[in-house]
Amino acid sequence: MINQKTMQDYLSPRVRSIPPSGIRKFFDLVSGSKDVISLGVGEPDFVTPWHVREACVYSLERGHTQYTSNAGLPELREEIGAYLSRSFRTDYDPANEILVTVGGSEAIDLALRALIEPGDEILIPEPCYISYSPIASIGGGVPVGIETFAKDQFKLTAEALKSKITPKSKILILCYPSNPTGGIMTYEDWLPIAKLVEENDLIVISDEIYAELTYGSKHVSFPSLPKMKDRTILVSGFSKAFAMTGWRMGYACGHRELISAMLKIHQYTVMCAPVMGQIAALEALKNGMEEKDRMMESYNQRRRLVVKGFREIGLDCHEPQGAFYAFPSITSTGMTSEEFAQGLLTEGKVAAVPGNVFGLGGEGFIRCSYATSVAQLNEALDRIGKFVLARKG
Amino acid sequence: MSELKLKILDLLKEDARRSAELIATMVGAAQAEVEAAIAELEADHIIVKYATVVNWSKVDDKVTALIEVQITPERVHGFDAIAERIYLYPEVKSVYLMSGAYDLLVEIEGRTLKEVASFVSNKLSSIDRVLSTKTHFILKKYKQDGIIFEEHEEDHRLLISP
């Protein structure tokens, strides 16, 4: 290369320093395998409801192919505002406090880019969704993991949070219901966390993409807690509740100045979310609740099946209260999560994601998505049972 | 009806071979409770029968026809007595009383086109009070009882995703 430099030398040190995603590594391993039942998928097994797809097709027929306003279609923002108020008691002004993004991921990236100054510490309860820590690093922040434990149903405790707060702490990223653990937080669980957030003047990014997927108790939205609305950016989207992962439709809600700062980055990078996705999202919110409930009931049924199955196999499994993942412990087999997942893939022909890729506290577990058919789940449980028996036997 | 019974009906409608044990796990109830609920549903004739949906076109070339039938209703019995005369024939798969241009919609299944034609002309049309019939042969079944016949249930998802 020029002046003996390699391409690596041109790359930004921030990007260079980020290790490749553990999930990506495992994906490469899995993609060559045949006859595999996959429990490794972080998305619904349903196709987007037909009326949502149809609304998009119809809008294309009518020629709706133009830019929308940067913040998103006004009617979609209105509908998002009404939905959040109705479902989670969080009130946002659609004109200034809601921004439609390209998936929840863009919303998180915008929030971090709008807030981080180099050296700021970003508190992240782990195990968690794989992207938070790398996006924080790319933004120049310092991710600080907070380990959560199966004995606490992977809830974030005030003690654990407090022990990690320093004068440099600026942002706390929350994701409940949790990917990968299925843990949730109740109103009582949140109160001491909110107190610490206020005392330490933290800004919260609350990723509530799985808010619709709770079993038993209703989701408690972090900004609905006393005094939390103005210091929280609520991030959500349509992927999980309405089976719309590929559409990449998300949104962020928060204080108008924060949203306005995020809008600046959004308008100079992606301009606006794709119009066809926005039209589909509008249809999903207006007429998709019944389909959503039907899918939810189905996840709930499979959740019970899977948890019982793991326990019968002899793997400890806390009962997930949200999302569509079971997170059983595999420590009784004496293997690391990577050894277990690789062995299960090659010998048992079942793909599950090793827990260590989700950060602190993930080692010793595997993430199994139960967003797959009952027949497939039964077959997968059978195979896992045989694999574990052979190892323990 | 109780929520449990509704859930059981949904699960059995999806797959009638599901065991009470599996259903109990899926709905989060005791197996005995599910067994009792199923027994009640059967006794109340809410679960009428456990059937198999067969795509016959893959097995043989049976002929199915939908026949619009116009009739003169009977005094006292209205349409019911004639409907009964029709639905008792084993060739008749279903009979519906309809609003609109005709009175009964009759579904007939036969081995050959000739067999169906013969049923219509000899048996159905000759019934007293049957005024007219209009026969439509089914060329292809795409969906029946909510089940899509030729669905390609491909899972387009990657094997691993975040």
Residue A351 has what pLDDT?
96
B160 in contact with A, Cβ within 8 Å: yes
Q: Is a pLDDT exceeding 90 seen at residue A24?
A: no
| DSSP characters over B102-140 | -SEEEEEEESSHHHHHHIIIIIITTSTTEEEEEEEE---
| Rounded-to-integer distance, Cα A113 and Cα A262, Å | 8
The single-letter DSSP state of residue A329 is B
Out of A38, A297, A304, the one facing B160 most closely (by C-beta) is: A38
| DSSP characters over A19-56 | PPPHHHHHHHHHHT--SPEE-B--S-SSPPPHHHHHHH
A365 three-state secondary structure: strand
Query: Please, which residues 161-180 of chain A have a Cβ atom closer than 8 Å to chain B?
Result: 179
Residue A19 has what pLDDT?
86
Query: Please, which residues 278-307 of chain A have a Cβ atom closer than 8 Å to chain B?
Result: 297, 300-302, 304-305
User: B155 to chain A: which residues are within 8 Å by CB?
Assistant: 45
Residue A235 has what pLDDT?
98
CATH 1.10.10-classified regions of chain B: 3-43
Average pLDDT over residues B18-33: 97
Candidates A293, A287, A249, A233; CA nearest to A105 is A249
Tell me whether the omega of the peptide bond preceding residue A127 falls within 30 degrees of 0, making it cis. Answer: yes
Residue B58 has what pLDDT?
86
Query: Are A43 and B11 an interchain contact pair (Cβ–Cβ within 8 Å)?
Result: no
CATH 3.30.70.920-classified regions of chain B: 56-140
Total beta-carbon pairs less than 8 A apart between chain A and chain B: 57
Q: Domains in chain A, start-ordered, CATH in brackets?
A: 11-47+290-392 (3.90.1150.10), 50-287 (3.40.640.10)
Mutating which of B3, B10, B160 best tests the A interface, going by the most A Cβ atoms within 10 A? Answer: B160
A141 three-state secondary structure: coil
Phi and psi at residue A123, to the nearest 5°: -85, 130
Is this complex scored with an ipTM above 0.95? no
A99 three-state secondary structure: strand
State how beta strands A142-147 and A169-174 pair: unpaired
A65 in contact with B, Cβ within 8 Å: no
Residue A59 has what pLDDT?
97
The chain-wide mean pLDDT, for chain A, equals 96
| Rounded-to-integer distance, Cα A261 and Cα A268, Å | 11
Query: Are A131 and B162 an interchain contact pair (Cβ–Cβ within 8 Å)?
Result: yes
Residue A361 has what pLDDT?
97
| Rounded-to-integer distance, Cα A339 and Cα A147, Å | 22
Which distant-in-sequence residues (6+ apart) come within 8 Å of B101 by Cβ? Answer: B68
Query: Are B162 and A23 an interchain contact pair (Cβ–Cβ within 8 Å)?
Result: yes
| pLDDT class of A2 with cuts at 50, 70, 90 | low
pLDDT in tens, B136-154: 999 998 988 888 888 777 8
CATH of B56-140, one of 3.90.79.10, 2.120.10.30, 1.10.630.10, 3.30.70.920: 3.30.70.920
- How far is the alpha carbon of B93 from chain A, nearest alpha carbon, in Å? 31
Q: Are B123 and B115 in contact (CB under 8 A)?
A: no
Which distant-in-sequence residues (6+ apart) come within 8 Å of A169 by Cβ? Answer: A120, A121, A123, A144, A200, A202
pLDDT in tens, A255-279: 999 999 999 999 999 999 999 999 9
Q: Is a pLDDT exceeding 80 seen at residue A393?
A: no
| DSSP characters over A283-326 | HHHHH-HHHHHHHHHHHHHHHHHHHHHHHHHT-------BTTEE
Q: Is a pLDDT exceeding 60 seen at residue A306?
A: yes
Q: Which fold has domain B3-43?
A: Arc Repressor Mutant, subunit A (1.10.10)
| Rounded-to-integer distance, Cα A48 and Cα A247, Å | 9
Where do runs of H (alpha helix) occur along chain A?
A: 7-10, 13-16, 22-31, 50-61, 74-88, 103-115, 132-138, 158-164, 187-199, 256-269, 275-287, 289-313, 337-346, 374-392
Average pLDDT over residues A241-246: 97
Angle at A383 between CA A380 and CA A389, to 5 degrees: 135
Out of B22, B155, B159, the one facing A351 most closely (by C-beta) is: B159
pLDDT in tens, A107-147: 999 999 999 999 999 999 999 999 999 999 999 999 999 99
Q: Which residues pair with B137 in a beta bridge?
A: B65
State how beta strands A203-207 and A169-174 pair: parallel
Tokens at B28, concatenated: 């989060």
Q: A163-202 in b/e burial notation, b at 16+ Cβ within 10 A? A: ebbeeebbbbbbbbbbbbbbbbbeeebbeebbebbeebeb
